[in-house]
Structure 1
Amino acid sequence: MEELIKEYSLGFTMLREAIEGLTDEEMRYKPGPDKWSIHQIIIHVTDSEISSTSRLKKVLAEHEPILNSFDQDAWANNLGYDLLDREQYMLLFKLLRCSMQPILEHLTSEQSKRVGVYEDQGRFTFKQLLEYRVQHVRDHIDQIKRVKKAYQVNQTY
């Protein structure tokens, strides 16, 4: 659990490093009509963090709470992601992760086994939900790398 909490705490730094030095053109490049730009990925990661921070707290505070998913494509398509301030969203992500740190540092092994229930996905322990948060950032950093590569390839033509 200690390594998981450590990587969770590094999520902001990992994201910041993934986008460091990119121009606005690179940040807004879409590798395909139904693909997200790096800008949109950053906004999505933060929106997801808003929802999941609430879920994590619910699992720790309530007895087997019902957890709700959100439609990420609907959010990306209908909330004007291209108009939102990426730096504000990066700061919000950082603040959300920092707000969880004292809770995680005092987490007991019993708390890590507490359960939340998604109606559409079943039961998950707090530890599983935290693992998903860490993996979510990893997955989107990989996606950012793929978009950066696609941009570079596109520039050679």
Structure 2
Amino acid sequence: MESLMKEYERGYEMLQNAIEGLTEEELHYKPAPDKWSIHQILIHVADSELVSITRMKKVLAEDEPLLFSVDQDAWANNLEYEQLDREQALQLFKLLRSSMQTIIAQLKAEQFERAGVYADAGRFTFKELLEFRVEHVRGHLAQIERVKEAYRQSQ
């Protein structure tokens, strides 16, 4: 559990390291029309964190709450991620993680087993939601690396 909590805490730093030194051209490069740019990925990660913090808090505060899913592609397209402020999104991500870290650090072991229910995916414990947050950043870090490589190949 300790390593999971540490990696959760390092999410912002890991994202910052992944984009360090990239140009605006690299950040906005899309490897294909239906693929996200690094800029869009970062906005998505912040939006996803915003939604997930609500889910995590509901699980800790309410008994078996109903959790909701979002359509990430609709968010990216209809909220025009390419036009949003990347630095603002990263700061929001950092603040959300920091505020949640304070709560996580105080949890008792049994609180990690509290659960919520997705109508479309079933029951998830707080620990599973936390694991997913870590995996989510890992997955998008790998996606960022793929976009960086595609950009290099296109040059």
2: CA distance, partners of 1:96 / 1:14:
15
Structure 1 residue 147, shift from structure 2 partner: 0.1
3-state DSSP of counterpart to 2:117: strand
Q: Report how far residue 101 of structure 1 moved.
A: 1.1
Deviations 1:63-116 (A, max 9, x none): 000000000000001001111000000000000000011111111111000001
- Cα distance in 1 for partners of 2:15, 2:35 equals 19
Q: How many residues align?
A: 155
Q: Name the residue aligned to 1:132.
A: 132
Within 5 A, what are the aligned runs for 1:2-151? 2-151=2-151
Displacement over 2 Å in runs of 4+: none
> Could you say what the CA RMSD is over the residues aligned between the two structures, in angstroms?
0.4
Letter in 1 for 2:136: H
Distance in 2, Cα, partners of 1:80 & 1:102: 32
Q: Aligned equivalents of 1:3 and 1:18: distance in 2?
A: 20
Please list the CA deviations of residues 24-76 of structure 1 after superposition, one character each: whole Å capped at 9, or x if unmatched: 00000000010000000000000000000010000000000000000000000
The whole-number CA distance in structure 2 between the counterparts of 1:83 and 1:40 is 9
Q: TM-score, normalised by structure 1?
A: 0.98
Task: Measure, in 1, the Cα distance between the counterparts of 2:101 and 2:78.
Answer: 31
Residue 116 of structure 1: SS of its match in structure 2? strand
Which consecutive residues of structure 1, in runs of 5 or more, have no partner in the other structure? none
User: For the residues of structure 1 that align with 2:99 and 2:110, how far apart are their CA atoms?
Assistant: 21
Deviation string, structure 1 residues 7-30 (Cα, Å, up to 9, x no partner)? 000000000000000000000000
Q: How far is 1:2 from its partner?
A: 1.2
